[in-house]
Amino acid sequence: MIESLRQEIDALQQQAAAELDQASSTEACEAIRIRYLGRSGRINPLMQKLKDVPKEQKAEAGKLLNGLKQNLQKNIEQALKNYKQAEQDAQLLKEAVDVTLPGRSLPLGRLHPITQTLYELYGIFAEMGFQVYQTREVESDEMNFQMLNIPPDHPARDMHDTFYTKTPGVVLRTHTSPGQIRLMHERCPGAIRAILPGKCYRFEQTDASHEWMFYQIEGLAVGQHITLADLKGTLTAFVHRMFGAERKVQFRCSYFPFTEPSMEVAMSDKRGGWLEILGSGMVHPVVLKNGGYDPDKYSGFAFGMGVERIAMLKYGIDDIRQFYGNDLRFLTQF
C-alpha cells in the first residue's frame, strides 16, 4: 500500500513540476496552485487514501503526503515570485525614463489682469508720492454716505444701489470714498497723499459694463496749499504714464456731493473721440471738516476710478464680465 502511494505521489510531483516549467505568467502559476492545492485539487484524493493505509504505515504515509504538499507549495510560490519579478522588471523597463532628456517645464500661474492693473496703478502713483492705504469693505451708513455730505434724504443716494446688511446702519461700501474720512481721522492734522484701493459693491444688473462687485482706486491729497492745478497736473501725469504721452486730457464740469468743484476726466482715443476714465474734484469743505481738518486752513483734492474700466481701456476689452468669468482662454492672455 505504501509503495503504491509513493508512486502516485512521485507521479503527481513530476506532473506539477512539468506544468510549472511550461507556465509563463503569474496567472498560469496561480491556476496550477488551485489545480493541485485548492479545495478540490489533485492532492485531496491522495489525502483521502490515508484512511485506508494500514495502521503501522500511517505515519510514513502521512509524512510522504505532507512532504508532497510542502514541496508543491514551495515550488509554486517560488515560480510565482519569479514571474512577478519578471513582470515588474518588464513594466519598469517599459516605463523607463531617459534622465538625459530635458525636463518638461511646468506651466506658471499668472497674476489676474485686475491685479496686474492695480500693481501698475500703485507704481505710477507711488512715483508721485502717494502711499497705498487699505480700508474696510463693510461700512456704516454714516461713513459711506453721511460723512461724505450725503444725508439720508439726499438724491445722490439714488446713484448707489446699496447692499444693506441685517445689522441696521451697516452696508457693503458702494465706493472707496469712505476711506477718505477714516484716513483723515488717522492723519489729522498732518498732510495726506494716498490712494485707497479695494472692492466695492452695488446691487445692480450685470451687463457688459456693470458688475455687482468691482474695484476702485480712490486718491486723496490734503494740505495747506493744494489747488485745482495740482489735481489737474496729477491726473494728466497719470494718463500719460498709463496710456501714453500722446493722449490728450479733458476736464469736464460734473457733480459729486463730496467734492466742489467736481470734474469728470476724459482722454482722447485713437479715432479722435473722448473716453471718460474717472471722476475728481476738490474735497468739499464739509468733508474736510468731517475728517477733522479746518477747511479755512486746509484744502485737498480727491479722485476715483474703476480699475476694471482702466483695464478695459488699456487692453481693449469690451465686456467687464470677462474679468470674473474664470475663462482661462481670456485670463492667459495677460
139 and 18 belong to one structural domain = no
Distance CA 196, CA 134 (A): 6
- 283 and 325 belong to one structural domain: yes
The set of cell numbers assigned to 303 is 479722485
Is there a single domain that holds both residue 89 and residue 123?
A: no
Q: Is residue 314 assigned to a domain?
A: yes
C-alpha cell recorded at residue 60:
510514513
Residue 36 lies in a domain: yes
In a domain? residue 15: yes
- Cβ count near 285 (within 10 Å): 16
The number of domains in the chain is 2
The domain that holds 312 is classified in CATH as 3.30.930.10
User: 310 and 198 in one domain?
Assistant: yes
- Cα separation of 41 and 17, whole Å? 15
Asked whether residue 283 falls in the same domain as residue 183, the answer is yes
Residue-wise pLDDT for 37-62, tens only, equals: 777 777 767 676 666 667 666 677 66
Do residues 201 and 313 both lie within one domain?
yes
Q: What is the pTM of this model?
A: 0.69
pLDDT (tens digit per residue) in 263-293: 999 999 888 899 999 999 999 999 999 999 9
Alpha-carbon distance 179 to 181, whole Å?
Answer: 5
**Within this chain, do residues 73 and 126 fall inside the same structural domain, yes or no?**
no
Domain check: are 205 and 265 in the same one? yes
Residue 104 lies in a domain: no
Query: CA torsion 220→226→228→233, rounded to 10°?
Result: -80
Q: CA gyration radius for the chain?
A: 42
- Looking at 62, 94, 126, which one is the last position of a domain? 94
**Which residues lie across from 213 on neighbouring strands?**
201
Query: Does residue 132 share a domain with residue 30?
Result: no
Residue 45 lies in domain = 2-94
pLDDT of the chain, 334 residues: tens digit per residue:
667 667 777 777 777 777 777 777 778 777 877 777 777 777 767 676 666 667 666 677 667 667 777 777 777 778 778 778 877 877 888 887 778 888 888 888 889 999 999 999 999 999 999 999 999 999 999 999 999 999 888 887 777 889 999 999 999 999 999 999 999 999 999 999 999 999 999 998 899 989 999 999 999 999 999 999 999 999 999 999 999 999 999 999 999 999 999 999 999 988 889 999 999 999 999 999 999 999 999 999 999 999 999 999 999 999 999 999 999 899 988 8
